[in-house]
Amino acid sequence: MIPAVERPGAARLDRSLPTPLWAQLHADLLRRVEGGEFTRSFPGELALAAAYEVSRNTVREALRRLRADGTVVAGRGHPPRLGRQTEITQPLGALYSLFASVRANGLSATSSVRVLDVRADGVVAAKLGLEESTPLLYLERVRFAGGTPLAVDRVWLPHALAAGLRDADFTETSLYRELDERCGIRLTDGQERIRAVVPTPGERRLLAAPADTAALAIDRLGLAGRTPVEWRHTVVRGDRFSVLASFTAKGYQLDVHSGPKGPGWSH
């Protein structure tokens, strides 16, 4: 084992141990990462080889393991750096508010409203189980977490149910809170599909996302009892958002073929 150290910096590797040097180096680098080192930059192969008095082959094997688990990211022609951990984690199988989840992670949750109007959309109306000409309240926002763009959020609701939202200020509040307080509607459950997407150029600009940033699309049908009241399409930065599934000894089942079924879903 690597001797315990209380101060930051490289620990001395023990060549008398049966543990390979690369494994000792890998463990010590993880310790240093968890201790808050390397936030500005991650040392290169030569620097690590000198600091730990090992060969570059030993360093490369330790770095290979760090890259495999996402701790370190390194591209051709670029120095290694720490991989970014997602800031917002959402549970699968639970009704959640992105606004509340951002706040729960210790970040400010704000929105910039791009569109709030009434329109007809036959495709979305059908997803809500309505006639194609039914007036819908449409809300489009850029969602921010900690002052940085997190998601482009588009929501459609039956105008007859959600007319009270037209005067709401969504800058620092959640849709579900306003829907409850202004319209007396509280979501009880729903269905959701999450898939990987390539953001459109416009979405990438709104998200201030680099060209190599992945994104997730979340399509949600929200219900109040048995009544569909919300169809939502959200494009969220994949480097800042993740989903979490819990399981037991009995396991869990995800439908990866056709997705959830309901009035808003088609095959």
Indicate if the alpha-carbon torsion angle 112, 114, 117, 122 is positive or negative.
negative
Where helices occur in the chain by DSSP H, the ranges are 21-34, 45-52, 56-68, 98-104, 122-127, 159-162, 175-183, 201-207
- At 68-120, the pLDDT tens digits run 766 787 655 667 777 665 567 777 766 778 888 888 777 788 999 999 999 99
pLDDT at 257: 43
Across the chain, what does the average pLDDT equal? 85
> Cα 149 to the chain's mean position, in Å?
12
Contact present, 1 and 19 (Cβ < 8 Å): yes
Phi, psi values for residue 30, rounded to 5°: -60, -40
- At 101-114, the pLDDT tens digits run 888 777 788 999 99
CA dihedral 97, 211, 116, 112 (to 10 degrees): 70
- At 1-20, the pLDDT tens digits run 444 333 468 899 999 988 89
Name all domains of the chain by residue range, CATH numbers in brackets.
21-82 (1.10.10.10), 88-244 (3.40.1410.10)
